[in-house]
Every structure is written in structure tokens, then in C-alpha cells.
Amino acid sequence: MREDICTIPVSEAFEIKDGCPICRMYKTVEDRILNYILGDAMMEPDVRIETNKAGFCPNHLNKMMSMRGRLQLSLMLETHLKEIADTVFSKKLFSSAESKAKAAKKFNEGCFICRKIDFGFERMIDTIYRTYEKDRDFREMFNTQPRFCMHHFEQLLTGANKKKMPKYHKEFADNIIRITGDYLLNLCDDISAYCKSYDYRSREAEKGDMAELKLSPERATGFLNGQIPEEK
């Protein structure tokens, strides 16, 4: 599998200022890998060997089921199921119930797509640190983002150390804390106003924009689970 399928130019995700840019990066890479798996990957036997062993998580299985390419998916599942049968349920192997459970756990916890995304993601996060360190325009673009989700707030902050960003690690951390903290304060007001709007005695609903308020739960869950809410 070509490595460039797992990565995208980082600045592309920061050019649009709407939602968490890292979630956007994730989705772009994920879409690329999903399309590759249900397309060109069929021509690469190495990929099939990997998917047979790693399998797919529930999230990615569901995503592939909703895409075109049922035959490609079925061909992959055919050999993956055989691999499970040969490994977990093999009659030849002298294996205890415990070791069968262990082998099943390995299949249940693996995902070829998650693994590839993680591989590409690590490199892209490092590129963010490097670009922030040396490119003024990128710093400006990063510092004016509207928000980061909780997961990517943690991920970006965890790796932003002196070693990776000798000059700008503090500025980087200050900005991501400011952006995420401000967004969270807005969310708190938002969800409170939404809850109050259910109270018929409240005047908040009359004052507030209901169409805007209606999406408060989507915005709050998007912040917590890293999914981009559908803003309408």
C-alpha cells in the first residue's frame, strides 16, 4: 500500500475555518483509505494478507457497508473469515479455550483502516509542529482556527514539547488552550440556553435564535467525540 494514501497536505485542513481541523484531516484520510480498500487494493495481494489478519473495527465495517463495492468487500470478508476459522477455530491446533479467547480478542481489537490512519496521523501531527515552528503564515492560520475537539486538543497538546518545537512550543500550547477554552465557554452558554428553552416560563427561547439553539446538543457531542457536527 502506498504511504501517500495515508497522508494529506496538512495546510489544506487549516485553510477552511469551520470545525476542528484535525477532525477534517482524519475524515479526509479515512475517506481515502476506505475508497482505496474498496477499489485499487484488490490488485494488491499484500494488502489482502494484512486485512485478513487485522480485520476491521465496527465503525469501519459499517462505513464500508454503506459504500459502493459490495463485491470487493465480500471478497475481502471471505478470506478474512477463513483466517479467523483457521486461527481461532482450528481443530488441528492444540489450543485451550483461553488461547482461543485470546486469538479472538486479537481479531476483535484489530482494524486495518484504524492502523493505517494512525500511521499517517502521527506523521501529519509532526508536520503540524514542524510547520508551526518555521512558517509564519501557518502560525496565523492555526491561531485563528475556531475550535479543536477534546480528543485533538489532547493529542496536539501532548506532543507539543520543547524537543519538537524548540522556539514555539509555548505559543502553540497557549493558542490551542485559548481556542478550545473559549469554544467550550460558548458551548456551555449554548447548551444552557437550549435546556432553558424547554422551560415554558423561560424568556430565553423568545430572545434566542431557536434554529441556532437546536443544534447545541450536536455541537456539544461533536466537541466531545470528535465528530464534525452537521451545521445547517
Q: How many CA atoms lie within 13 A of 228 on its CB side?
A: 16
DSSP state of 56: -
CB of 177 to Zn ion, least distance (A): 15
Nearer to Zn ion, 59 or 192 (CB): 59
Instruction: Indicate whether 13 belongs to the interface with Zn ion (CB under 5 A).
Output: no
- Whose grid coordinates read 486479537? 106
Determine the interface stretch with Zn ion among 92-100, 104-112, 127-135, 157-165 (rule: CB under 5 A): 104-112
| 60 forms part of the interface with Zn ion (CB under 5 A) | yes
- 226 — alpha (psi -120 to 50), left (phi > 0) or beta? left
Residue 60 vs 169, nearer CB to Zn ion: 60
DSSP secondary-structure letter at 228?
P
Q: What is the DSSP string of 77-103?
A: HHHHHHHHHHHHS-SSS---HHHHHHH
Residue 29 CA to residue 20 CA, distance in Å, equals: 15
Q: Is 141 in the site for Zn ion (CB under 5 A)?
A: no
Q: Is 80 in the site for Zn ion (CB under 5 A)?
A: no
Closer residue to Zn ion in complex, CB, 125/193: 125
Smallest separation (angstroms) from Zn ion to the CB of 24:
8
User: Could you tell me the sign of the dihedral formed by the alpha carbons of 113, 59, 108, 20, in that order?
Assistant: positive
Closest CB to Zn ion among residues 66, 96: 66
Interface residues with Zn ion (CB under 5 A) are 20, 22-23, 57, 60, 111, 113-114, 149, 152, 226
